[in-house]
Structure 1
């Protein structure tokens, strides 16, 4: 049976994911403005519902980490097995959230290993877990790993093995925006755009290629260079980028998953 602490970490992660889903306007991503908005052929209501299916698996990951006590190869293998079972449960509930499950699973396990640790310590522990290969993982390459190999992008695994640098950047942007008076929604949008401005998003590389990726990165930088979403110029730039990405059907889903990781770390007690 999972402890109360494991369940609390899992619930914090799910709350971070549903908070990310509720954010609007997210360029190229589903949000509440249109409950039929599509992301990988799944509508927004389905994504919110299936997010709840992550909780049991995340609690099991926290319990495994707490029981093991160290970021060992055995823990990495156990997290991988739990993650694959959780993916199946999420698929039955409507699907989605594969990238968020990867990052949240590692961060939840890291937080369970080091209760009370700050965000940077949690990402450092997650890095140590991710450094171990999952020897039981299926041998077939995923779309993300294929794109990473083709273009030399870090991808989700590279991001984790580097200690989630974009999660840390998102968290820094979140704190900075709040400090200058942005609303919580504006601060979270600024954090998302900060990630989008530099992340080599494998989903974008797959659908839009390197030129498309650079186009999205430049658009996100443009919003931030205009002063961020709390300013009139920044809000106008965001609206233009949002319309552009929706028209092109380009979705920076990797950035959304990393923002979710930042929101989870932000929710941990300091």
Structure 2
């Protein structure tokens, strides 16, 4: 970890790192999730388990804390902050891969949650409101800056899909201030929570809302355009049935899961954005409670 001369108020910012890890733990434990790792098993994955995903999440806490620390010292969405966060993220990914013996568990979440943790620390440093829209705006500004120090490397599966199929990926989602979260995941989470008073069902519905519109490169890599279309249509079908809290919605979700399992199509990109959605929801709710 980098050492800074100025004193860093660790207790003030450590909560953001803790909340990011909590969001990752909540996401992987949410059950059921179609073709994803959850408390029932490994979904469409052969190399992932619930225990491995949890170990991976905990390994990222020092990284999230260091990103908050970098925001504290750089003050604003500057090129130098973007490059500092990039270097911290690469070190965090290396720590994750060491923990998981080389298995990619949370690469997408490092990008999304890392930007949002940094944005939250920037907002606190500037005495700005901790709202989802403000944090996504700041994260988008930071994501739009290019990191001049990214080392040459092989294209990830998601980047291969973006290049071959011309779709937007996780980078564009962040640069556009996370529309899948602000326009779909977060509104669905809160609407389902209000209607059914069932937190688990509301979180499943939030995942489905993201799946219904996202060009999930994890699914595209595994199952192509056919898999993506079936994921999106199937997710919309569950929501149109009333969501997971309803009996007909649960049957529709079971049908969607069987379809995705046959295709070995796991919506990992949507899962990463669900974790980010939970992070933002918790920050807004806690911030509101603190003002009351």
TM-score interval, normalised by the smaller of the two chains: over 0.9
1:163 corresponds to 2:170: no
Contact 1:38–1:44, Cα closer than 8 Å, also in 2: no
Q: Which residue of 2 aligns with 1:87?
A: 93
Contact 2:43–2:266, Cα closer than 8 Å, also in 1: no
State how far apart, in whole Å, the 2-side matches of 1:219 and 1:247 are.
Answer: 14
Q: Which residue of 2 aligns with 1:102?
A: 111
Alignment of 1:66-85 (within 5 A): 66-85=72-91
Q: Which residue of 1 aligns with 2:164?
A: 150
Runs of 4+ off more than 3 Å: 36-40
Alignment of 1:1-270 (within 5 A): 3-34=10-41, 37=43, 39=45, 41-94=47-100, 95=103, 96-115=105-124, 116-140=129-153, 141-168=155-182, 169-268=184-283, 269-270=287-288
Q: Which residue of 1 aligns with 2:3?
A: none
State how far apart, in whole Å, the 2-side matches of 1:89 and 1:250 are.
Answer: 27
* Alpha-carbon shift at residue 38 of structure 1 (Å): 5.8
> Which entry has the higher C-alpha Rg, 1 or 2?
2
Larger deviation, residues 117-126 vs 139-148: 139-148
User: What CA deviation, in whole Å up to 9, does each residue of 1:43-89 have, x standing for no partner?
Assistant: 12111111100100000001101111100111110111000100111
TM-score (norm 2): 0.89
Unaligned runs of 5+ in 1: none
* Alpha-carbon shift at residue 138 of structure 1 (Å): 2.2
TM-score (norm 1): 0.96
Structure 2 counterpart SS, 1:163: coil
Structure 1 counterpart SS, 2:278: helix
State how far apart, in whole Å, the 1-side matches of 2:168 and 2:9 are.
Answer: 34
Q: How well do the aligned residues superpose, as a CA RMSD in angstroms?
A: 1.4
* Alpha-carbon shift at residue 40 of structure 1 (Å): 5.9
The change in CA–CA distance for 1:153 and 1:2 in structure 2 (over 3 A counts) is: farther
